A and B are shown apart, each in its own frame.
Chain A
């Protein structure tokens, strides 16, 4: 509405007074009508109204002028008073004709605009769909993630939920309308085709109501199915249903085998439902019961706020609910003497999903905005050159009685045609670019599947094009005096009007400044990326293959059976030609969505500390020769060996970080540790026999290496032991690592055959080389860096073209003067110096401005950078030098041409 009121300003003042209010009223009522039909039609309607308003405004202005002129100037009959729309149509036709007849101007200008507008449209498409659009759940702004932190464990956030906290919230939190818990895991899906591993979310039946989503086919879980002993049911993702079951609606009520257990399919979710993320292909109910007690932190929580409740209110409410936990659960750690210091950290679901990438995307959008400004400056320069050439044309119009609005019309028609052409081309480019971006973007970019070029993006693009057009049309008018003087000046002038030069130089300086800002930003990103890649991950990533295998608990019911199966697989793979070593682990460094197990440790001979908890450690089950296969250095002692596995030796290897955390200034070798209290059944003391180097665990960039414990698979948790026993990581799913003497990928078929021979029901999933895992870990930074570098590269190129264009023009305008100087004996070197100095001054001014902006703004990069200061002097210096060199070249080339002029030619030509 405000936009429309603003558009009405384009109308002649008299008309606006007369009809403005009435038009606003009509517009508002129509808007209300169209709003009801929503989406596409609304966007279409807006576009039509905006364009219509502009066209009519221009028409009305010309009609008003025509009326005035009819009275004042009957002599101008030949040009003829044209009316409204028809007049504008004519104007457009003439403008298009002028442009087509002048391809040397039109093509570079339109392509430059298309590139810049296309880049803006594509990044806007991503920002709009990933960051701006609400999540695809009704009233999604009320959905929050129920995270917790445990200050006693030095974990400010991210430890998730337990059953106890869930029931506590359910009973006492007044700000939540509904809440749900879920965990994700992998399961083998068998029956109806090849067995495959899929990712499954086990959730309380309240998950669908929290998200206000229901299956497209069939039903969601009932309350009874979410209780212990409930029926085994599953809801499939739309993708799985299409891929594996051919979209057969008869799937409902059929039985599939999940986790080796017959499970009834009761529903299929709608396409696009991707909670908690797009990798999940089935949902099962998680049995939850109050009898569990406080429980363990293995759940993620999500909730829907009551209407009108703020996040702050919810935080206070949840923390109040947490405070009463010790009264409800006597076995809660606080009650037996040490403090978790739990705090509730609710965040909106959108922030949780989009927050980590939003900043990077906004910066990218700003960067391509800069590119558009630079491109705009180039086109504006081209327009200025043209405007000079068109001065006679315009002067004639003026002589025939055209007011300044007529001149505006002349330029506006031209720039509208030009930038709309650029906009349409740009939209086409964006369509292609978005597909390319989706194909190459890291999978860690959330909501990627929702990104597309749609009506909103199209409207954004066209409005951008119109905005650019209006800016261009106004530029040549900044110096109306020079237009008038064109008639009088005749054309023989040795220096072009000063004002026009000043405008040109301001544009050029602005280009230099903007290009420098982008260069600095991308330079900082490149430097970060270099540092990230130079980081030692703690293992040897070259020529090693990894994949994951999950054994079915039905076929391998206990730890001994699973260890034997894994060992048999390892032995057969080791015998393959090209294999140098092979091992397996429950938790591979950098593995996405690996279910890694963490706990605080008991140390033999040390009372479990009161009032504070020892740091958490990551516990990993490994097969023999793990350190040798991964290339992880052993600092002291020995690794886990085959005899440890075969004889069930109670030994462990720990990393240096664990030694620092648990045994500072002590000899760790020979100390005994345990994850669960060894006085309880199942748990055993494990003796430290070696110390390994630290490796990265979850991400390349970690504040500090995490303490880690490597235990033999024969000491870890078998399928017959409950998760709550906490004795160690489960060994159902293991990541295999194969060190090869040939390129790793070539071994995949023979490994697959071996696995099939051992167990035909074992799918081999997430087949990657270790190098690929490293690449994936830095993929998001690489993505941002590459896009920023492209933007900076384009900015530099356009900036250089801009400088070159301005300097060439300056030279061409001063040909006569230069010729005269040369004829009078000036040295060519001095002529070059004179020209370069002129360009250099502007460049330096631009660089100073650019450095100031970059210094002030580079802080926004903040968290995107790794180990590089946002004001890294090296980066600032290098990029400034690069820009200086490029700018110098762009000035020098036209200057050299000037010095080579034949003085006689220039004087004669004029």
Chain B
């Protein structure tokens, strides 16, 4: 496993989460990232594709065939095994942080 996997950025993690639902394309991924982050993340088209390119280069996602009826220009991406692992690792890291916050009474206990 490459070291980058431990260092997925905020935007990259959101993209991985978006692809957790199944293969998707640029516009839909961008939309999902924006809604999921409550508008906090709203990457420009350029920034979005930069992140997609990097994740592809790092092997966390991979281009896949588009569905039959899709716009020909669209590019579909799906999670790779490394990608799933990276997402899980990042979630684990966040979970550990939340647990620490709870222990130190910085965050309410689960009801």
Binding site for B on A (CB under 8 A): 4, 15, 18-19, 21-27, 29-30, 48-49, 51-53, 55-57, 59-60, 84-85
21 contacts between A and B (CB under 8 A): A15-B53, A18-B53, A19-B52, A19-B53, A19-B75, A22-B25, A22-B26, A22-B75, A25-B26, A25-B71, A26-B48, A29-B27, A49-B46, A51-B44, A52-B45, A52-B47, A53-B45, A55-B46, A56-B49, A57-B46, A60-B50
8 A Cβ contacts from B55-80 to A = 71-75
Contact B44 A52, beta carbon cutoff 8 Å: yes
A52 CA to B50 CA, complexed, in Å = 11
Contact indicator A19/B49 (Cβ below 8 Å): yes
Q: Is the CB of B45 within 8 A of A30?
A: yes
Known: A29-B27, A60-B53. A52 touches B75 (CB 8 A): no
Q: A25-B73, A25-B74 are in contact. Are A56 and B47 (CB under 8 A)?
A: yes
Q: Which residues in B have their C-beta under 8 angstroms from that of A48?
A: 44
B30 within 8 A of A: yes
C-alpha gap A60/B48 in the complex (Å) = 12
Question: B74-103 vs A: 1/0 string, CB under 8 Å?
Answer: 110000000000000000000000000000
* Most A CB within 10 A of own CB, among B25, B27, B49, B53: B49
- The chain B residue with its CB closest to the CB of A27 is B45
Q: Which residues of A contact B54 (CB under 8 A)?
A: 84
Return chain B residues, CB-CB under 8 Å to A27: 45
| In contact, A26 and B26 (Cβ under 8 angstroms) | yes
- Please, how many angstroms separate the alpha-carbon atoms of A25 and B30 in the complex? 12
With A and B bound together, what is the CA distance between A53 and B47 in angstroms? 7
CB nearest neighbor in B for A8: B46
Residues of A contacting B26 with CB < 8 Å?
22-23, 25-26
Please determine whether B71 and A23 come into contact, CB atoms closer than 8 angstroms.
Answer: no
Instruction: Tell me the bound Cα distance from A21 to B30 in angstroms.
Output: 16
> Which residues on the B side are within 8 Å of A15 (C-beta)?
53
Q: Are B50 and A26 in contact (CB under 8 A)?
A: no
Q: Which of A23, A55, A84 contacts B45 (CB 8 A)?
A: A23
Taking the closest CB of chain B, its distance from the CB of A179, in whole angstroms, is: 48
Minimal Cβ-Cβ distance residue in B for A29:
B27
Indicate if the CB atoms of B44 and A56 lie closer than 8 Å: yes
Q: How far is the CA of A25 from the CA of B73 in the complex (A)?
A: 6
Partner of A23, one of B43, B49, B72: B49
Q: What's the minimum C-beta distance from B68 to chain A, rounded to whole angstroms?
A: 17
The majority secondary structure among interface residues of chain A is: helix
Give the most central of B30, B45, B47, B53: most A CB within 10 Å: B45
Apart from A26-B30, A30-B30, A60-B53, list 8 A-B contacts with CB within 8 A.
A22-B74, A25-B73, A29-B27, A30-B45, A52-B47, A53-B44, A57-B46, A85-B47
Q: Which residues of B contact A52 (CB under 8 A)?
A: 43-47
Number of B positions contacting A (CB below 8 A): 20
Contact in complex: A26, B45 (CB < 8 Å): yes
The docked-state distance in angstroms from the alpha carbon of A53 to that of B46 is 5
Closest to A48 in B: B44
Q: How far is the CB of B3 from chain A (nearest CB, A)?
A: 14
Q: How far is the CB of B101 from chain A (nearest CB, A)?
A: 29
The verdict on A56 contacting B46 (CB below 8 Å), with A15-B53, A21-B73, A22-B25 known, is: yes
Q: Which 5 A-B pairs have the closest CB atoms?
A: A52-B44, A56-B46, A22-B75, A26-B26, A21-B73
- The complex places the Cα of A19 from the Cα of B73 at a distance, in Å, of 9
Contacts of A55 in B (CB 8 A): 46
**What residues of chain A lie closer than 8 Å to B74, measured between beta carbons?**
22, 25
Given A22-B75, A25-B71, A29-B27, decide whether A49 and B45 contact each other with a Cβ distance below 8 A.
Answer: yes
Question: In the complex the two chains form, is A22's CB within 8 Å of B73's CB?
Answer: yes
Bound-state CA distance A25–B49 (Å) is: 12
In the complex the two chains form, what is the Cα distance from A60 to B52 in whole Å? 12
B50 to A59, Cβ gap below 8 A? yes
With A and B bound together, what is the CA distance between A324 and B106 in angstroms?
A: 89
Contacts of B72 in A (CB 8 A): 21
- Chain A residues whose C-beta falls within 8 Å of the C-beta of B52 in the assembled complex: 19
Expressed in whole angstroms, the minimum distance between the Cβ of A357 and any Cβ of chain B is 39
Q: How far is the CB of A14 from chain B (nearest CB, A)?
A: 10
Q: Cβ of A25 and Cβ of B27 under 8 Å apart?
A: yes
- Beta-carbon nearest neighbor of A4 in chain B: B45
Kindly state the separation between the CA atoms of A641 and B73 in the bound complex, as whole angstroms.
Answer: 89
Q: How far is the CB of B43 from chain A (nearest CB, A)?
A: 8
Q: Which residues of chain A have C-beta atoms less than 8 A from B71's C-beta?
A: 25
A868–B14 Cα distance when bound, in Å, is 69
- In the complex, A57→B46 CA distance in Å? 8
CB distance from B82 to the nearest CB of A (A): 19
| Chain A positions within 8 Å of B49 at CB level | 19, 22-23, 26, 56
Q: A48 to B43: give the CA distance in the assembly, Å.
A: 10
Q: A22 to B26, alpha carbons, bound, how many Å? A: 7
Q: Which chain A residue has the least Cβ–Cβ distance from B63?
A: A18
Query: Per a CB cutoff under 8 Å, which of A4, A29, A49, A56 touches B50?
Result: A56
Nearest CB on A from B67, distance (A): 14
Q: Which residues of B contact A18 (CB under 8 A)?
A: 53
For the complex, give the distance between the alpha carbons of A26 and B45 in Å.
7
Determine if A26 and B47 form an interchain contact, defined as CB atoms under 8 angstroms apart.
no
B43 / chain A contacts, CB cutoff of 8 Å: 52
Chain A residues contacting B53 (CB-CB under 8 Å) are: 15, 18-19, 60
Chain B residue with minimal CB distance to A7? B46
Residues of A within 8 A of B25 (CB): 22, 26
Contact B50–A30 (Cβ < 8 Å): no
Nearest chain B residue, comparing its CB with the CB of A59:
B50
A52, B26: Cα distance in complex, Å: 16
Residues of A within 8 A of B46 (CB): 23, 49, 52-53, 55-57
Closest to B75 in A: A22
A48 to B48, CA, bound (A): 13
Chain B residues positioned under 8 Å from A26 (CB to CB): 25-27, 30, 45, 48-49
Contacts of B27 in A (CB 8 A): 25-26, 29-30
- Least CB distance from A41 to B in Å reads 12
Chain A residues whose C-beta falls within 8 Å of the C-beta of B45 in the assembled complex: 4, 23, 26-27, 30, 49, 52-53
Q: Give the complex CA separation of A120 and B71 in angstroms.
A: 42
Q: Enumerate chain A residues within 8 angstroms of B30, measured Cβ to Cβ.
A: 26, 30
> CA of A49 to CA of B48 in the docked complex: distance in angstroms?
11
Q: Report the minimum CB–CB distance from B69 to chain A (whole Å).
A: 15
Minimum CB–CB distance from A23 to chain B (whole Å) comes to: 5
Q: Which residue of B lies closest to A19 (CB)?
A: B49
Distance, CA A19 to CA B75, complexed state (A) = 8
Between A26, A53, A56, the greatest number of chain B beta carbons within 10 A of the residue's beta carbon is seen for: A26
> Considering the complex, which residues of chain B in the window 4-54 have a beta carbon less than 8 Å from any beta carbon of chain A?
25-27, 30, 43-50, 52-54
**How many whole Å from A778's CB to the nearest CB in chain B?**
51
- State how many angstroms separate the Cβ of B52 from the closest Cβ of chain A: 8
Of the candidates B50, B73, B74, the one having the most CB atoms from chain A within 10 angstroms of its own CB is B50
Name which residue of chain B comes closest to A83, CB basis: B54
Instruction: Please measure, in the bound complex, the distance between the C-alpha atom of A698 and the C-alpha atom of B52, giving whole angstroms.
Output: 69
Q: Tell me how far the C-beta of B72 lies from the nearest C-beta in chain A, rounded to whole angstroms.
A: 8
Instruction: Give B56's nearest chain A residue, CB to CB.
Output: A18
Which A residues are in CB contact (< 8 Å) with B44? 48-49, 51-53, 56
CB distance from B44 to the nearest CB of A (A): 3
Rounded to whole Å, the gap between the CB of A524 and the closest CB of chain B is: 48
List the B side residues contacting A25 at CB < 8 Å.
26-27, 71, 73-74
Chain A residue at minimum C-beta to C-beta distance from B52? A19
CA–CA, A24 to B72, complex, Å? 12
Select from chain B the residue with minimum beta-carbon distance to A45. B44
A21, B26: Cα distance in complex, Å: 11
Determine the chain B residues whose CB is within 8 A of the CB of A51 once the complex forms: 44
CA gap between A26 and B44 in the complex, in Å: 10
Instruction: Output the nearest chain B residue to A49 by Cβ-Cβ distance.
Output: B44
Assembled-state Cα–Cα distance A4/B49 (Å): 14
Q: Which residues of B contact A21 (CB under 8 A)?
A: 72-73, 75
Which residues does chain B contribute within 8 Å of A56, judged by CB atoms?
44, 46-47, 49-50
Say how far B4's CB is from chain A's closest CB, in angstroms.
11
